[in-house]
Structure 1
Amino acid sequence: MVNVYDPNNVSVIVDNIFVTGFAEGTMVSASKDEENFQTKTSAKGEVSVAKTNNPLGTVTITLSADSPHQRRLTQIANTGKMVPCWVNVSAPIKEKKGGSQAMIKKPADAEYSDEVGDREFEIQVFDYTDS
């Protein structure tokens, strides 16, 4: 069986708004901030494992400078509003990443040139889940 990836099957929802106007290339990335456990090995080869209980994750959204949602994300960043942030993939494999409590770290940096630029928003998710 052949699975076909289509970026139209990826949706990004911030503050209950379906974000559009992504830049070329990587639209969005999502990751847990730390590994689930850490290990140590003694001089004699005995292994200890410590579970990491850090629930933090990061979602990074890359928009085109002319995205209709660039201004709204900037407003959320400037107010420090706590918002839900989800990345959903509907096919070929269903995935849902993000959380119900997140904040945009800062407004996107801006560059101006002879091409339409990108605006990257980094979102800290305080209850990150990956399913």
Structure 2
Amino acid sequence: MTGHIGTYDARKVVTTVGGIFITGYADGTMVKASKDNDNFEASSSAQGDAVVSINGDGMGTIEITLNQTSPSISVLDGFANARSMVPIWVNSNNEVKEVVGGTKSMITKPADKEFGKSASNRVYTIKVFDYAVK
């Protein structure tokens, strides 16, 4: 008897920023999302009494990596330059459904630019102030 064999399709991952669908990802990791801090911090006294301190920090970071030819570069650079507060959502509609993002986020800065013989990547760091994993 064989175990579970899962499937993953990158085409089933959809990212929206400010309600606009992001396209033109680079090869490799398209989107990376993480909560900035742990949900709690645990410590114990010399006598072994435990204390759990709940962390109320709800911020997270989402990183989007695009190819230099992506039509979404001008959109994300525009949001960054305007210092716009926008929603961001990453939806994976694969076998295991995952949703991450928030309703309040800002792009930290326009992507660094690099020009050479081959197309390069553009990386955007987005700070999410009400980060949620659904």
TM range (shorter): over 0.9
CA distance in 2, matches of 1:74, 1:83: 13
Q: How much identity, in percent, do the aligned residues show? A: 43
**Deviations 1:69-93 (CA, angstroms, capped at 9, x unpaired):** 1011001000001100000001110
2:27 corresponds to 1:33 = no
One-letter amino acid of the counterpart of residue 37, structure 1: F
**Which residue of structure 1 aligns with residue 119 of structure 2?**
116
One-letter amino acid of the counterpart of residue 65, structure 1: Q
Instruction: State the TM-score, normalizing by the size of structure 1.
Output: 0.97
- Corresponding residue to 1:77 among 75, 80, 87: 80
One-letter amino acid of the counterpart of residue 15, structure 2: V
Gaps of at least 5 residues in structure 2 are none
- Corresponding residue to 1:9 among 12, 35, 38: 12
Runs of 4+ in 1 over 3 A off after TM superposition: none
**Deviations 1:16-69 (CA, angstroms, capped at 9, x unpaired):** 011000001000011111000001111122211000011101110000011001
Instruction: State the TM-score, normalizing by the size of structure 2.
Output: 0.95
- Corresponding residue to 2:105 among 102, 106, 117: 102
In the TM superposition, 1:21-60 aligns within 5 A as 21-60=24-63
Aligned residues: 131
2:31 corresponds to 1:18 = no
RMSD between superposed Cα atoms in Å = 0.8
Gaps of at least 5 residues in structure 1 are none
2:94 corresponds to 1:91 = yes
One-letter amino acid of the counterpart of residue 115, structure 1: S
Say which SS state the counterpart of residue 76 (structure 1) adopts. Answer: helix
CA distance in 2, matches of 1:54, 1:129: 11
